[in-house]
């Protein structure tokens, strides 16, 4: 039994064992007396238009919850991703915190004692059902405040038609990437390997490569390790062997945003790039046959992949701990988790929903992403300084891999800013 399977088996076992326990931690919370309670719920919109806005999902879920829990109302407010974190921050600053928020970060609120911990809100079976790697990513000083809501992982995508025409197999090592990209360039492929290190989401692309080189943003004890020798070596390889060899296309990586790279892939202009489930679906709609493999490493496939998670949290201000817990227990039921994941091609964050997705033929295209999730590495979400560190990365990481760039110097400056922000917490 592999490590990922063992971890999932243990998580499911714990969750099933907990089902026999009648007491729940949320059941003994304050705020569960008589009288109606209205929970203000703020969420991010994962939709791309009015036709698939997340507001529809949350309004439907709220009505079902209200029917099952007389006396508790849910007032839903959905904002675009570019606005939602700021909106919640402003609400908290006005002393008008929502009861529940589904947003991108929780650590700052947890460190300011604005949030209930998971074990103050959730039934034991709900908390035990989260994938362990995601539970860990939601912890501050060993206590869980961020509840993972939805997740995604990344794989290396390649255009099967372009690879077949060039007589290439899927890459397994960095050397394979360089060889395949060179062959694709010879055949006139516009972006042999699309490397989006522009300001849109370069912190994600960077982390994927650092992990494949055996490094990352933090060390084994959670401290920043941005300018480690392994990270410098990874960016040096990108500078010299990929960018410097002219294998990344006509747009400099530091000027190439993820959206433009993804669009070029759906138009058949990209041989390889790092992608997520939504890109898979978009490409196949345009007739691009997609191959997917774990991101190659120096000597073989990487042992870990990058994961991304978004977060739920319960605010203390209105003292609705019990009602918040009941809503969370309802929202994390398998039917509801899978409905949202299906709508937006994302991955569930619970053991039981993941097990259902693995065995359902409808979800076969997502299985490779799902298999990567338990061992994925995440951003250092527990650090309030991560927001500043991420901005520093997006501003300058592209310059590290351009011809004549200075990987060591760029990483050292990013590390300095991250450490400075950490010390200011």
**CATH class as words, domain 3-152+307-372:** alpha beta
Q: Which residues contact 151 (CB under 8 A, 6 or more apart)?
A: 131, 134, 307, 308, 309, 310, 346, 347, 348, 349, 373, 376
Question: Are the C-beta atoms of residues 78 and 53 closer than 8 Å to each other?
Answer: yes
Question: Are the C-beta atoms of residues 129 and 120 closer than 8 Å to each other?
Answer: no
Q: Which CATH superfamily is domain 155-304+385-423 in?
A: Periplasmic binding protein-like II (3.40.190.10)
Helix (H) or strand (E) run with residue 73 in it: strand 72-80
Q: Tokens 């206590």 map to which residue? A: 143
Q: Tokens 């033929």 map to which residue? A: 361
> Residue 42 in 3-state DSSP?
strand
* Closest C-alpha among 272, 264, 321, 314 to residue 292: 272
- Residue by residue, pLDDT tens for the chain (425 residues) are 343 333 333 343 444 344 343 333 333 333 444 459 999 999 999 987 888 899 999 999 999 999 999 999 999 999 998 899 999 999 999 999 999 999 988 999 999 999 999 999 999 999 999 999 899 999 999 999 999 999 999 999 999 999 999 999 999 999 999 999 999 999 999 999 999 999 888 999 999 999 999 999 999 888 999 999 999 999 999 999 999 999 999 999 999 999 999 999 999 999 999 998 889 988 999 999 999 999 999 999 887 789 999 999 999 999 999 999 999 999 999 999 999 998 888 999 999 999 999 998 888 888 889 988 888 899 999 998 998 899 899 999 999 999 999 999 999 999 999 999 888 76
Sheet (strand 37-45) strand order: 72-80, 37-45, 100-103, 307-314, 147-153
Domain spans of the chain, in order of start: 3-152+307-372, 155-304+385-423
Q: What is d(CA 357, CA 347) in angstroms, rounded to the nearest whole number?
A: 9
Cα torsion at 282, 288, 293, 294 (round to 10°)?
-40
Question: Are the C-beta atoms of residues 216 and 225 closer than 8 Å to each other?
Answer: yes
């Amino acid at each position: 039994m592999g490590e990922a399977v063992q971890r999932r088996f243990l998580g499911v076992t714990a969750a099933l064992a907990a089902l026999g326990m009648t007491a729940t931690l949320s059941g003994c919370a304050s705020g569960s007396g008589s009288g109606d309670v209205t929970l203000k719920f703020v969420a991010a919109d994962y939709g791309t238009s009015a036709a698939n806005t997340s507001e529809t999902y949350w309004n439907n879920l709220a009505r079902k919850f209200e029917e099952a829990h007389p006396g508790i109302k849910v007032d839903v407010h959905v904002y675009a991703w570019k606005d939602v974190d700021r909106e919640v921050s402003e609400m908290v600053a006005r002393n008008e915190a929502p009861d529940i928020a589904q947003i991108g970060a929780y650590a700052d609120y947890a460190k300011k004692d604005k949030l209930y911990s998971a074990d103050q809100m959730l039934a034991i079976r709900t908390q035990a059902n989260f994938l362990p790697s995601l539970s860990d990513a939601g912890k501050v000083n060993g206590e869980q405040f961020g509840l993972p809501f939805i997740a995604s992982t990344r794989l290396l995508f390649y255009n099967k038609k372009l690879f077949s025409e060039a007589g290439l197999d899927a890459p397994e090592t960095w050397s394979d990437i360089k060889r395949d990209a060179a062959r694709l360039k010879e055949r006139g492929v516009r972006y042999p390997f699309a490397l989006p290190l522009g300001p849109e989401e370069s912190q994600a692309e960077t982390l994927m490569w650092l992990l494949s080189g055996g490094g990352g943003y933090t060390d084994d004890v959670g401290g920043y390790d941005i300018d480690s020798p392994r990270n410098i070596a990874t960016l040096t390889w990108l500078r010299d062997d990929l960018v410097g060899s002219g294998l990344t296309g006509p747009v400099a990586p530091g000027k190439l945003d993820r959206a433009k790279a993804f669009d070029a892939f759906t138009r058949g202009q990209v041989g390889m790039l790092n992608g997520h489930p939504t890109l898979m679906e978009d490409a196949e709609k345009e007739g691009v046959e997609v191959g997917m493999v774990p991101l190659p490493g120096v000597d073989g496939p990487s042992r870990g992949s990058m994961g991304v998670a978004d977060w739920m949290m319960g605010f203390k201000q209105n003292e609705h701990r019990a009602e918040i817990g009941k809503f969370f227990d309802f929202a994390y039921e398998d039917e509801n988790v899978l409905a949202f994941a299906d709508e937006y091609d994302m991955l569930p964050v619970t053991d039981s929903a993941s097990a259902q997705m693995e065995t359902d033929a409808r979800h076969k295209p997502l299985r490779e992403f799902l298999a990567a999730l338990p061992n994925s590495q995440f951003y250092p979400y527990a650090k309030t300084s991560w927001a500043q560190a991420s901005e520093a990365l997006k501003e300058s990481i592209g310059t590290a891999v351009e011809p004549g760039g200075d990987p060591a110097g760029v990483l050292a400056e990013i590390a300095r800013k991250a450490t400075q922000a950490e010390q200011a917490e």
